[in-house]
């Protein structure tokens, strides 16, 4: 079974803190994605990566950056967390040319 794991299920941070959200997949997938999910807005793509050290902006990249130093790991970084970044963050992966995205369980981030 494909497994996508995320470092934390719940996280509480203070405004201005630097926040790291980590995602690891065990299926040797080339593609990895970060989404945020907010009530009434669905899933919105923040950043994605098609290969190691490669990254592409999604629909809402402002306030975020990413890092992909290894194929299996994709990190989402909030340089200076703000209250409007309180959300559920979902990581996903898929194979190159693959059609199915496999999602992790999500990290619910609260920024106070």
Partner 1 sequence: QQPVQSPQAVILREGEDAVINCSSSKALYSVHWYRQKHGEAPVFLMILLKGGEQKGHEKISASFNEKKQQSSLYLTASQLSYSGTYFCGTATGANSKLTFGKGITLSVRP
Residues that bind partner 1 (CB under 8 A): 4, 33, 35, 40-45, 48, 56, 58-59, 90, 97, 99-106
Alpha-carbon distance of 49 to 90, in angstroms, equals 14
Name the minimum Å distance from CB 3 to partner 1: 11
Name the minimum Å distance from CB 53 to partner 1: 18
Alpha-carbon distance of 6 to 43, in angstroms, equals 17
Alpha-carbon distance of 98 to 108, in angstroms, equals 27
Q: Rank residues 86 and 95 by Cβ distance to partner 1 and give the closer one.
A: 95
Q: Rank residues 87 and 101 by Cβ distance to partner 1 and give the closer one.
A: 101
Q: Rank residues 52 and 60 by Cβ distance to partner 1 and give the closer one.
A: 60
Name the minimum Å distance from CB 56 to partner 1: 8
Helices assigned H by DSSP within 9-66: none
Q: Rank residues 31 and 75 by Cβ distance to partner 1 and give the closer one.
A: 31
Q: Is 45 exposed, middle or buried (0-12, 13-18, 19+ CB in 10 A)?
A: middle
Name the minimum Å distance from CB 52 to partner 1: 17
């Amino acid at each position: 079974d494909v497994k996508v794991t995320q470092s934390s299920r719940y996280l509480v941070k203070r405004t201005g803190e630097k926040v790291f959200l980590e995602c690891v997949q065990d299926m040797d997938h080339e593609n990895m994605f970060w989404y945020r999910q907010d009530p009434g807005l669905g899933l919105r793509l923040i950043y994605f990566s098609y290969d190691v050290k490669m990254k592409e902006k999604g629909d809402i990249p402002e306030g975020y950056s990413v890092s992909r130093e290894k194929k299996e790991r994709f990190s989402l970084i909030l340089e200076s967390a703000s209250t409007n970044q309180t959300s559920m963050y979902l990581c996903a992966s898929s194979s190159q040319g693959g059609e199915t995205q496999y999602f992790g369980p999500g990290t619910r981030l609260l920024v106070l």
